[in-house]
Structure 1
Amino acid sequence: MAWILLLVAGLLEVGWAIGMKYTEGFTRLWPSVFTIAGIAASMMLLAQAAKTLPIGTAYGVWVGIGAGGAALLGMAVLGEPATVARVFFVALLLVAVVGLKATSGH
């Protein structure tokens, strides 16, 4: 169950990271409200997952999902550059996330 909570927390992190782009510096009400709610929910789920998972693993997976997902969505949706190097390094993030899960002992 902790891994499912952590996955959802990571996906929420992707959502709030992308959402920050739409808040325009937290000057737009509804994008700001949804972004702040996403931050809070993501952190609460991370905290729940960290009750049973090692914190280094939980945090690393959470950050990896968030950073990789935000980078991929940035390239796919926001028109950010999709260079071979960027895609390669996102793939490395995903390998690291899988490696952390595989070696966590849970």
Structure 2
Amino acid sequence: MAADHRLQDDAGNRIPYSCGNRRYRTNIEKGCRHGEFSETLGSVFEEPLIDNGGWTLWLEHATEIETEAEVYWFMWYAPDGIPTIPLSGIFDRADLARMNSMLAQFVP
């Protein structure tokens, strides 16, 4: 059975549209709400990058837990706001700029 990797509020309740693991967590003190889906902050944009029938991909502000370094990750969510994968694809702004350049070459 898959583990629920959503962050918890002070009362121990799982927060929709948030994710954390041993090394990183969505920075829910920064950014935008996850559209109309949740009051939780953390998204870079007010809408998902992709919406595939309620399965959504978001670019999120993230924090490295040990160093507090500001990073980003892409996170897929199920229609109920639960992250679909427990793994991190962490990158910084320079990495994002490089990805953007490469994608611009691929999709003219």
Task: Give the number of the structure whose residues are more often helix, by fraction.
Answer: 1
Normalised by the shorter chain, which TM-score bucket?
Answer: under 0.3
TM-score (norm 2): 0.27
* Greater radius of gyration (CA): 1
Structure of greater relative contact order (alpha carbons < 8 Å, 6+ residues apart):
1
Task: Give the number of the structure whose residues are more often strand, by fraction.
Answer: 2
